[in-house]
Structure 1
Amino acid sequence: MSAAGTRARVRAELTREIAEVARKHLASDGAAALSLRAVAREMGMASSAVYRYFPSRDDLLTALIVDAYDAIGAAAEDAEAAEPRDHLRARWQAACRAARAWAVAHPHEYALVYGSPVPGYVAPETTIGPAGRVGLLFSRIIADAIAAGAVDPESEPTGADAALTSDITATMGLGERSASSSLAARGIFAWSAVFGMINFELFGHTNNIVADDERFFLDATDRLAGMLGLPA
């Protein structure tokens, strides 16, 4: 391996190590208290050395946020891809289950992206694509259901899509928005409901209310699939 290749490998390894230590600090201190100096101190590095990898705390936060969004997105995509393409509701349920399972296994990383905003931090545009991976996966399932003739995009013609931004139905792959359609709005409702349930569970809002969180979640996401028109 060339000297340049060796340097690139060392840089990549140190970048990963810094991110791992920072995740530990998320768990112990919270995102608002994340400090490059504290990370450097734990790694036995000079703070100036860490700044060569992450010029600011916000750059480190952005890296952690993108990693978290990509991880939950990949988990949902991998689970959905394992289901037969024509089993539309099974694909939906697999994606929902995987998103919840990742969140339960990584509560502090999940809280970083779906919990309270970090004071003073403004997420850059580089976070937008990763943040949308699960939502776009849900949209692809709906679009496949339309293409298969399993879902009528003009069913339940409430016109709720008119409440959305003008280009969102195209972004979701659901075609042109009609005056009567509500399918894109129902898709966004289902997406927000899935993550709302995960939030309620992880942040303790269902304590003393729900005894079996997984069972409750699976029943609720199946009801959401029915609302979308995905065949059982």
Structure 2
Amino acid sequence: MSSSAESTPRRRRRQELLNRSIAVARRLLTDGGLESVTMLAVSREIGIAGPGLYRYFPSRAGLLRATCRHVLDELVAHVRTAVARQPAGDRAAEVQALTNAMFAWCVAHPHEFDLLLGAGLRLVEEGAPVGGESGGTFYEVAALAFPPVVAQWADGAVRFDEPVPPQLAADLGARRDALLAVFPDAPRDVPLGLVAAVRVAWQRTFGLLCMTAYGHVTEPDGPVRRDYVTALLDDLNARNLALFGLGVSPAAVLEPVFEPASESGAPEPTAPATSGSRPADEAGTATPGATGRRARLRRELVAEALRSARRLLDEHGPDGVTMQAVAKDVGIAAPGLYRYFDGRPGLLHATHQDVVDELLAYVETARARQPGDDPSAQCHAVVDALFRWCIAHRNEYDLLMSGRLRISLPGEDTPGEPRHAPLMALDRVGAVFAPIALAWWRAGCRVIPDDEILPALGPHLRAAREAMRGIPGFPPDVPLGLLHAMNLCSARLWGLLTLTVYGHMGDIDAPAAAAHLDALVLDLVVDALDVFGQKLSADVVLVRDTPGSSDPVR
């Protein structure tokens, strides 16, 4: 039997190897994304035989989980440091610092953010995601906002007397209990309304974070619209603080959301671009108008390849969609598939577009089933259908949201000449809500006054209004407040949907998940309608089929 002294060196060597493995995995993640972190790559870097690494990690997922924990610890420490720099007792400054620090870190580390967000979806064979016991990986960051807002409530500066929806009470109660366990000095009688308000603020901010980190808030040529994101985050911060009776703190010491451009004159970092390969129709596939037997066979093979890619995506996620797997499935040699798709990025790009087309058809059909003169019913039906489709197609949503990060081969494009059209999936889906908002405006709905919009947002909203003139029937005199209201609702929509799909709002496969989902969607719809001064429609026809086609039924 070995003594404690004899076992210590062995344990130390084991821990050193674990630390080195995680450090290598982290570097691979930063440089090349999730796909580059493999057992073989890490084994080679640390100098051991490939099978030997399995003595320390049971699988690649185990390695990724350990890396995820390391990344999360770094993020939490970064946010804690930012909060600690604020003036003592300045609650607003603490909340602002938390938001900016989290935002800046995640935007600067998009692949790490991708791992934290997707851990529960991609590492399923290893059990619950990091932080899953208390609500998902980002819970540890969001929880840091609890002490200052509770102190604000305890001082009587803000009240939460309104009852929460009964369908959400149990979940909010569980969240409150978890928070009180982390912060035992907080009052035991914290109202559920405060927890609900924290959740709303978190969803708004997280939606903007996802859109920014995954490159959906960009200029037409790809770079992130930094001034716009910064101004919109400032606006969200102010609105979130107002939920707790707080104003923006002039004394806050805030981290810039984006790193400044280097003094060498090098261009600022841009959003992950969809570069490195051409869409299928530029890589040798027949165009829709092409005729002849050869063109028909090409179209048939492309369609069969896309069906195979969709099946692989549904079963294994984006990592499972490879040229080899699809070629084997359709019965051709892998090199032959390159005649139809310009590499795996081209295949993923075409698959991404197919996913968006199917989702749009589904939600548009749901909207068309509503009364034509009832935009509130249309809004409710579209949001409900969007959630149901995305939850039934979690891996497809993963590709939809993260496509601009995943479908890229950096360094292979000529500057200014991307070989892929931008993957603006969120813009395409969000456009479904434009005619709904316009109908409300024409009927005289509530519009955010100009003096309630941060001046820094004005130029961006005017530019967006100008760009939307290309939409048939879009009036040129739409008030900026209407567009801003759409932005605010969009932020919370994408925040809640993303957190739900990736498992950060609870187990969506649990027996009570359906009722919980209905309650979350209803709460979101009520909040969105209230922004425009609208009420729920009694005539809405909600989709209650199993999403799998573009023809929902009652």
Tell me the TM-score normalized by structure 2: 0.37
Residue deviations 1:169-212 (CA, integer Å, cap 9, x gap): 3333474476xx63221111111222221111111111128441
* Secondary structure of the structure 1 residue equivalent to 2:233: helix
Partner of residue 101, structure 2: 98
In structure 2, which of residues 126, 131, 139 is the aligned counterpart of residue 127 of structure 1? 131
Mapped to 1, the partners of 2:124 and 2:9 lie a distance apart of: 37
Mapped to 2, the partners of 1:152 and 1:194 lie a distance apart of: 22
| TM-aligned CA deviation for residue 214 of structure 1 | 3.0
In structure 2, which of residues 176, 200, 214 is the aligned counterpart of residue 169 of structure 1? 176
Mapped to 2, the partners of 1:151 and 1:14 lie a distance apart of: 51
- Does residue 1:183 correspond to 2:194, yes or no? yes
Residues 114 and 125 of structure 1, relative CA distance in 2, 3 Å threshold: closer
In structure 2, which of residues 5, 9, 12 is the aligned counterpart of residue 9 of structure 1? 12
Partner of residue 164, structure 2: 159
Partner of residue 53, structure 1: 56
- Does residue 1:118 correspond to 2:122, yes or no? yes
Mapping 1:221-232, distance limit 5 Å: 221-232=237-248
Instruction: Tell me if the contact between 1:150 and 1:231 (Cα under 8 Å) persists in the aligned partners.
Output: no
Partner of residue 233, structure 2: 217
| TM-aligned CA deviation for residue 18 of structure 1 | 0.7
Mapped to 2, the partners of 1:63 and 1:161 lie a distance apart of: 38
Partner of residue 206, structure 1: 217
Letter of the 1:135 counterpart: A
Instruction: Tell me if the contact between 2:65 and 2:123 (Cα under 8 Å) persists in the aligned partners.
Output: no
Residues 83 and 111 of structure 1, relative CA distance in 2, 3 Å threshold: same
Mapped to 2, the partners of 1:55 and 1:202 lie a distance apart of: 31
Residues 177 and 144 of structure 1, relative CA distance in 2, 3 Å threshold: closer
Letter of the 1:144 counterpart: A
Instruction: Tell me if the contact between 2:79 and 2:101 (Cα under 8 Å) persists in the aligned partners.
Output: yes
In structure 1, which of residues 75, 84, 89 is the aligned counterpart of residue 87 of structure 2? 84
| TM-aligned CA deviation for residue 104 of structure 1 | 2.3
Instruction: Tell me if the contact between 2:142 and 2:202 (Cα under 8 Å) persists in the aligned partners.
Output: yes
Stretch moving more, 85-94 or 63-72: 63-72
In structure 1, which of residues 192, 195, 198 is the aligned counterpart of residue 203 of structure 2? 192
Higher Cα Rg, which structure: 2
Partner of residue 147, structure 2: 140
Mapped to 2, the partners of 1:148 and 1:85 lie a distance apart of: 16
Q: Which runs of 5+ in 2 are unaligned?
A: 181-186, 249-554
In structure 1, which of residues 150, 162, 166 is the aligned counterpart of residue 157 of structure 2? 150
Stretch moving more, 202-211 or 62-71: 202-211
Instruction: Answer 1 or 2: which has greater helix percent.
Output: 1
Mapped to 1, the partners of 2:81 and 2:243 lie a distance apart of: 24
Residues 162 and 75 of structure 1, relative CA distance in 2, 3 Å threshold: farther
Tell me the TM-score normalized by structure 1: 0.82
Instruction: Tell me if the contact between 2:65 and 2:129 (Cα under 8 Å) persists in the aligned partners.
Output: no
Residues 198 and 78 of structure 1, relative CA distance in 2, 3 Å threshold: same
Stretch moving more, 221-230 or 14-23: 221-230
Instruction: Tell me if the contact between 1:73 and 1:134 (Cα under 8 Å) persists in the aligned partners.
Output: yes
Letter of the 2:195 counterpart: A
| TM-aligned CA deviation for residue 162 of structure 1 | 5.3
Q: Which runs of 5+ in 1 are unaligned?
A: none
RMSD between aligned residues: 2.8
In structure 1, which of residues 32, 36, 39 is the aligned counterpart of residue 39 of structure 2? 36
| TM-aligned CA deviation for residue 68 of structure 1 | 2.0
Mapped to 2, the partners of 1:44 and 1:115 lie a distance apart of: 29
| TM-aligned CA deviation for residue 70 of structure 1 | 2.0
Aligned length: 227
Stretch moving more, 105-114 or 164-173: 164-173
| TM-aligned CA deviation for residue 32 of structure 1 | 5.0
Structure 1 outlier segments of 4+, above 6 Å: none
Residue deviations 1:18-61 (CA, integer Å, cap 9, x gap): 11221233245543563212211233211232122212112111
